[in-house]
C-alpha cells in the first residue's frame, strides 16, 4: 500500500509568488493535516481537514489556505511568499479525527515533505 505522498518534493520560488503543495493520504484515511517545519525546530501545525471540512487551524496568516477534495487528497496554498516561508512542509493522514480519545485511529502517518525555498 502506498503511504502518504506529497508533491513536489523540492521547489524554489521568489518573494511574492504563490505556491501550491499537494498531498495524497493513505487509502481509507479521511483526515489530512499540514505542518510547517523550519530548520532546527519541530513541526508546527497549520491545518487539519476531515471529511472535506476544516477542523483546525494553527497560528498562521491568511496567506495560508488549504482544501480537501472528495477523494480526500489535499492542497496547501501559500500566497505572497516571504523569505520566512522557506521550510519543509509536511502532510500527515490518519483514520480518526482525534477527539482526545486514546485510539490508534489518531496515529499520524507523515509524507516525505515538500521542501520550499523562497529567494
Partner 1 sequence: GIQVEQSPPDLILQEGANSTLRCNFSDSVNNLQWFHQNPWGQLINLFYIPSGTKQNGRLSATTVATERYSLLYISSSQTTDSGVYFCADHAGGAQKLVFGQGTRLTINP
Q: Which is nearer to partner 1, 84 or 104 (CB)?
A: 104
Inter-residue contact 108 to 95 (CB < 8 Å): no
**String of DSSP letters for 66-97:** EEE-TTS-EEEEE-S--GGG-EEEEEEEESS-
To partner 1, the closest distance from the beta carbon of 98 in angstroms equals: 4
Distance CA 28, CA 94 (A): 9
Q: How many angstroms from the chain centroid is the CA of residue 19?
A: 13
**Nearer Cβ to partner 1 (9/18):** 9
Do the Cβ atoms of 69 and 76 come closer than 8 Å? no
Residues forming contacts to partner 1 in the complex (CB under 8 A) are: 31, 33, 35, 37, 41-45, 48, 50, 55-56, 58, 88, 90, 92, 94, 96-100, 102-104, 106-110, 112-113, 115
- CB nearer to partner 1: give 9 or 80: 9
Beta carbon of residue 104, minimum distance to partner 1 (angstroms, whole number): 6
- Collapsed DSSP state (helix, strand, coil) of residue 16: coil
CB of 102 to partner 1, least distance (A): 5
39 vs 62, beta carbon nearer partner 1? 39
Amino acid at each position: 500500500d502506498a503511504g502518504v505522498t506529497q508533491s513536489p518534493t523540492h521547489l524554489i520560488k521568489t518573494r511574492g509568488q504563490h505556491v501550491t503543495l499537494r498531498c495524497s493520504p493513505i487509502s481509507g484515511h479521511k483526515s489530512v493535516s499540514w505542518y510547517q517545519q523550519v530548520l532546527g525546530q519541530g513541526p508546527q501545525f497549520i491545518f487539519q481537514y476531515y471529511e472535506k471540512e476544516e477542523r483546525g487551524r494553527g497560528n498562521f496568516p491568511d496567506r495560508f489556505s488549504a482544501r480537501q477534495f472528495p477523494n480526500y487528497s489535499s492542497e496547501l496554498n501559500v500566497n505572497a511568499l516571504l523569505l520566512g516561508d522557506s521550510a519543509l512542509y509536511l502532510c500527515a493522514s490518519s483514520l480518526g479525527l482525534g477527539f482526545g480519545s486514546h485510539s490508534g485511529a489518531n496515529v499520524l502517518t507523515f509524507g516525505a515533505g515538500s521542501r520550499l525555498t523562497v529567494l
